[in-house]
Structures are given as C-alpha cells and as structure tokens.
Structure 1
Amino acid sequence: MDNLLKVALAQISPVWLNKKATLQKIETTVQEAGKENAELIVFGEALLPGYPFWLSLTDGAKWDLNINKEIHAHYVRNAVQIEAGELDAVCQLAKENNIAMYLGIMERAKDRGGHSIYASLVYIDQVGEIKSVHRKLQPTYDERLTWAPGDGNGLQVHPLKQFTVGGLNCWENWMPLPRAALYGQGENLHVAVWPGSDHNTKDITRFISRESRSFVISVSSLMKKSDFPKDTPHLDAVLKESPEVLANGGSCIAGPNGEWIVAPVLYKEGLIYETLDFDRVYEERQNFDAVGHYSRPDVTKLYVNRERQSTVEFKE
C-alpha cells in the first residue's frame, strides 16, 4: 500500500575513524534491512567514520597541540569524498534492495578544496542515486574545532511513496528556520540524525512532530570506551578521560500528534523497525499546519539561499 512505509532505524556504533571498516558495517546493515523489506533506512550523524569525541577529552581547544593536529589529520584521511565514488557500493546496495537511505558522513568536499570536512547528511533514493548532500549549517560547540560550516544547498525534500522526506543534523533540528525551510517544501516525514544519546532525542523529537504535524524519526549512534580502535592516534590520552559510555543511543519515532510510536531505545545495537501510515499526517493537519492554513505569509516569510558555496568560481 502506497500510504504505508516500513522504516529501519540503524542504531549502531562505527568502527571509529576507520572509513573502510565502517563502510563494511553500513553495507551489512543495509543488506539486513533489505531482507526485512524496509523501504527507508536511517543512520546517525557522522557515523561514517565517527563523531569527534576526542575534542572533549584531549584539551581540544588548546592552540597548536600535536595531539589535536594528528587526530584531526587521521579524521580527515578517513572522511568520505563522494566525487571519488566512495559511496558507490552503498548506492548499489540501495538499488539492489529497493531501499532509500539517509546516511551521516564526514565529507571531505572536493568543491571546497578537499582538505576541510563537513558533517553531511546524504540522501540516496531507492534506485541508488544520491539526491542531496546536506552539509551541517552550524557545527556545535567543540565540533567547530574540526568541522567546517555548510550551506543551504542540501535543504531539500524528496518523494518516497506518499511521503515527502527531509532531514537535518543534530542541533540543526533546534534551528527554527531550517525546519521551516523543509516544512515549506511539503515535508511530512522528518529525519533527525544525532551522534547519540537520549538527552538530545527525548524532547526535540516530539516537539518537532507536534510543531510540524509530521512523523519524526530520530536516529542516534552508539559509542563505548571499548569501541575506540587500538590504532587510534594518542589512544592512551583519549582513554584516560573517556567515560565508559559516550553515546547511549536514544533512537525513536514520534507520530504527527507528538506522541511516541517508538520511545527512545537505549544501549541496544541493531535495527529498529516500524511501519508508518501516511493517513495520520492528514488527520493531524486538520487543526494545525505550520506552512498551510495556520500560516500568514503576508506577515512573515522565509528566504532560503540554496546555492552551493565555493571559494572560487571559474569562467572559461
């Protein structure tokens, strides 16, 4: 039935800062979801190859510190360059399994010189084509020491059966105007990706669903102290200050009425499945629609710049 969509929330840990091994884990997870006939699978923020946990553990803001330079260089080397075809195998699996995907990656963007990295949310459709790459608009707090700020090019939505899906990274979901940019394009299934932990997902997931009268999927990763690979640069210094659990999950789904369909799931690694019924969107839009009958565009209106930003522009 076209109004029903089976979704899979991939609450997994990365093979931290190991691009090749994490890609293999993602590919295995996609295949597993495909066997269960999932039609959309979502992975957490920066899962490929992992979140920069070291910044809060190694005096990350200290100027000219070798430990931060060397781990950062390791991070950049393990970031993804889409133009080089590094997501081709994942795209092929999406096509083979007829499954759409939101995947959080660290992107080493060629169109910005190829040395800086962006927390990007990639949407791959059911025929294996990359339809949008949303670079996180504003890295949060210590993330700014290793991530670059993105642009509005990825503020896009996509058709998926009767649904219109869009997504944002982590604290972007707290930014009212990017949310409104997606609502205004007809979004009714919102994807929020996080590095992990229910202190992020437990309130904002239900708030966005109530505000937008949409389904909201929040997907977080997991990370334990024992998940740091042995070849991590300066591993002893990282482990010295690390808690046992750095990310406890908290993946969840809220319905268009703001109530839980799947309450935050903690500490459990694996796939979480649910089937969403599009008809619930129309039911809840009856009394509120933030960009429709309950809006006043003659009074307030949002301007969005979706031009992909680059430092240079060449004219032949």
Structure 2
Amino acid sequence: MNNSNFLEMLKVAVAQITPVWLDKAGTLKKVKEQIQQAGKAEADLVVFGEGVVPGYPHWIGYTDGAAWDSKVQKEIHAHYAKNAVQIENGDLNEICHLAQIYEISVYLGIIERPADRGGHSLYCSLVYIDQTGEIKSVHRKLQPTYEERLTWSPGDGNGLQVHQLGEFTVGGLNCWENWMPLPRAALYGQGENLHVAVWPGSYRNTHDITRFIAKESRSYVISCSALMTKEDFPKDIPHYDLIMENVPDVLTDGGSCISDPRGEWIVEPVQNEEKLITAEIDINRVLEERQNFDPSGHYSRPDVTKLTVNRERQSVVHLKDE
C-alpha cells in the first residue's frame, strides 16, 4: 500500500455486513475481521454502514416505540445503551490499532454514548480514523429521522469535517443527512471530492441519492449499508418475542454502491449479500468533471449566497478549574 500524500489512485472498500444486533463486542469482532480483509486487499479506505455498531433501532417501529413511560421501551433502550460505543473508555482502540497496522483509513458508523454529553444519551455517529490509527472526527447525526428520535439525540456541527487521503479529500454524512443541502454544501466548501454516505440500508435509499450527489458535487460517492433480516435478531435480547410478532422477513437489504463523478455506476447497488466490495478511483476523473461545474468554486457566487457552519462541540457544561 502506498500511503503517500500525493496518491492519485485510491483503492476503496465497502463492508456490507449484518451486525450482531445490539451486541457491541460481537459486532466489533466482525468489523475487525472486515478491516483485516480490506487491509490484506491493500485498500486505502474501508467504510461501514450507519450505526452498525451495535445496530439500528429496528424495534421502535414494531413495538409501539412512542408509548409513554413504557417499561418495554425502557428495558430495550437500556440494553441498547449498554451496548453503545464509549470512545473515551477505549471501545475503538483495537479498531484504531488495526487501522495503523494496515495503514488503512476507516469510516465507521456507531451508536455513541459520549461522556461530553453526560454519558447516558445516545448519538448516531460517524467516526473517521486515519491511516495512523488516530480518530480525526466524530460526526453526530444532526437530526435523527422520525422514530429514531425516540432513542437517538440530535448532534452538532463539530463533525462536519473533511480529511486528506492521498490527493482525495473525504467527508461523510449519516443516512438522511445526505438529503440535506446545507450539510452537503458544508463538505463541498471544504474541498470534498470523495463523499461517504452511510445507511442502515436499503436499495430504496441508495439507488437515487448516490448518483445525485455525485452529479451535484462532481465527486466520487460511496454508499455503504448494512443488512438485517428477521432471522438475524438474537434470541437473548429483551422482549425478543414481542419484536418478532411484527417485523418483516427483510428489514434492510443492503444496497451498497459506488458512483463516479459523472453519476455513473462503478459498483451498482449490491443487495442481500454480506460482502466486502472494492474498487479503484482516480482523482483525475474529479478534475475532469470540475471543468464545467464546481459547486464551491467557479460555479458558486459567494457574494450572493454563503453558508455559515457552527462546528463547536455542544455541551451543557463548560468547566473552568483555573
């Protein structure tokens, strides 16, 4: 692997996996196996789906998740919280170590339980780990979607950051954030030319928006989804029988894919299969397509419209000990 700052070609890997649902340790084991596989394939970047560690809150829509003061909902939520990722406690240390060993960058979707917000609320976060094994950004989903708001908290702009990877500038958003024009514009304006869109699944989410973002930004776009079927629910989770009463046979069917800067498929959506998808991308394709359209460059009018981004990490406490 060539980790030069002037690497024009990148090999990217998309890890479409089924989480060991609501099992942090079990899912992290699968993530580590995928990083090792991607590293041995000499990939420069590997991407995982939204909240894949420890999984998407599928139970909410099938168990009357909005019921007020429900003991059922509280017990499932508590189990979810216990299996959420606590970065400050070292939950991602082994992932970082593997990134360093294989000199591979990682975008990993997690359910985060951060200490800087008191250590009890949950956030849908997208973590970027660079090729030295250092966590460079943690983007907390700005606005959880619909029933997600019953278990996830709204994030902030701190993670609206981009990162240099060879000659590429990579950034990422969670699920329906990819439909939000201003967060996309925030990344475009920082020079993004490789966009990572992470999803819980499925094809219905990825098949249009992936190519749309590519055409809008003249960037490569990677969409990474997870898989989940009725058979994938562990029997030892709280209220397993209740959850099983209403869930469909297939909840998310994958749909991971890669588009080039013209909005043409490099890898068409892959469905119903756990798979490590790889492809090579060339920075010159970006430069070619920016000739006629560059949303933050020659085709922008900052004298007329301009975006302000607050990247301060939000917290209810600012401690001053001196």
> Could you state the TM-score of these two structures normalised by the residue count of structure 1?
0.99
The aligned amino acid for 2:166 is K
The aligned amino acid for 1:208 is I
2:87 maps to 1:56: no
3-state SS of the aligned residue for 1:253?
A: strand
Alignment partners' CA distance in 1, 2:237 and 2:275 = 24
- Counterpart of 1:311? 316
Unaligned runs of 5+ residues in structure 1 are none
2:189 maps to 1:184: yes
CA-CA distance at 1:312 after TM superposition: 1.1
CA-CA distance at 1:86 after TM superposition: 0.7
2:280 maps to 1:299: no
CA-CA distance at 1:14 after TM superposition: 0.3
Unaligned runs of 5+ residues in structure 2 are none
2:80 maps to 1:78: no
Equivalent of residue 42 in structure 2, options 28, 37, 40: 37
Alignment partners' CA distance in 1, 2:267 and 2:39 = 21
Measured against aligned partners, the alpha-carbon deviations of 1:255-281 in whole angstroms (never above 9, x if no partner) come to 101111111111010200100011000
- CA RMSD of the aligned region, Å? 0.6
Moved over 2 A (4+): none
3-state SS of the aligned residue for 2:266?
A: strand
- Counterpart of 1:69? 74
The aligned amino acid for 2:132 is V
CA-CA distance at 1:69 after TM superposition: 0.7
- Counterpart of 1:134? 139
Alignment partners' CA distance in 2, 1:265 and 1:314 = 48
Alignment partners' CA distance in 1, 2:219 and 2:268 = 16
2:213 maps to 1:212: no
- Counterpart of 1:20? 25
Measured against aligned partners, the alpha-carbon deviations of 1:33-89 in whole angstroms (never above 9, x if no partner) come to 111111100000000000000000101111111111100000000001101111000
- Counterpart of 2:290? 285
2:160 maps to 1:118: no
Alignment partners' CA distance in 1, 2:42 and 2:235 = 36
- Counterpart of 2:150? 145
Alignment partners' CA distance in 2, 1:116 and 1:20 = 20
3-state SS of the aligned residue for 1:241?
A: coil
State the number of aligned residues: 316
Alignment partners' CA distance in 2, 1:280 and 1:183 = 16
2:106 maps to 1:88: no
Alignment partners' CA distance in 2, 1:205 and 1:273 = 17
Alignment partners' CA distance in 2, 1:155 and 1:58 = 34
For 1:168-247, list aligned pairs within 5 A.
168-247=173-252
Alignment partners' CA distance in 2, 1:270 and 1:292 = 37
The aligned amino acid for 2:64 is D
Alignment partners' CA distance in 2, 1:234 and 1:86 = 26
Equivalent of residue 248 in structure 1, options 250, 253, 256: 253
3-state SS of the aligned residue for 1:297?
A: coil
2:274 maps to 1:257: no
Alignment partners' CA distance in 2, 1:176 and 1:27 = 33
